[in-house]
Amino acid sequence: MPTVEVADLKSDDFLLDVREDDEWQAGHAEGALHIPISDFVARYGELTEAAPQDGRVHVICRSGGRSAQVTMYLVQQGIDAVNVDGGMQVWAAAGRPVVTDGGLPGHVL
């Protein structure tokens, strides 16, 4: 499965967060698109509208398991998608910003 390290992500990379609502509300990467894995198939159109036409979708969850499932689904749909290795836990540990919807500092559940 295609993966990418947190350290290799650029600030303008398209990020899809598939964690559940409570996890998102506690803290997320600024600018990420949030579609929980539990709603993903029903809300798939939101991703295709928001994702860059010929760009890559970087899929993230807490640790990499759920995002791996979504990444494989997207690849099967012909989308250039990669799993963010280690997820939001590694994101936060690497010192990347974690924010709430209000822009305040957040944390990873």
Positions marked catalytic: 61
How many CB atoms are closer than 10 A to CB 69?
16
Q: Please name which of 52, 12, 59 lies closest in space to residue 34, comparing C-alpha atoms.
A: 59
Q: Please name which of 108, 97, 66 lies closest in space to residue 84, comparing C-alpha atoms.
A: 66
